[in-house]
Amino acid sequence: MNSINFSTATLTFLAPCLFTLVVFLLFFEQISYLRKRKNIPGPVLVFPFLGSAISLVRHPSKFWDHQSSLAKSSPAGFSANYIVGRFILFIRDSDLSHKIFSNVRPDAFHLV
């Protein structure tokens, strides 16, 4: 009986701490996405940890058509998104793609 009270007391103490940690991680992920995205066209908020992976799996052609339309609306010719913890850029312009890929360095970015 004493061990049940101990585990209940421990759980009562740890529950708010765990809840706060989860909320902090969700908030941190959103802030890091928004800092990377800045004023690039893309979703304003993303689903935590998965990003747009659900819509990518459910309707892949619709997802990429939407990314293409966002990139087309941008004067720079690209759009941003977040898929399974990775920040991605969708580049529509072939000249911009050539400029980016000609400047590939190990410390510049990770090509997926």
Q: Of 63, 44, 64, 43, which Cα lies nearest the Cα of 54?
A: 63
What are 28-66's pLDDT values in tens digits? 988 988 898 888 888 888 888 888 888 999 999 999 999
Tally of helices (H runs) and strands (E runs) in the chain: 4, 2
pTM (2 decimals)? 0.69
**Domain spans, the chain:** 2-101
pLDDT of residue 111: 58
User: What pLDDT is recorded for position 6?
Assistant: 62
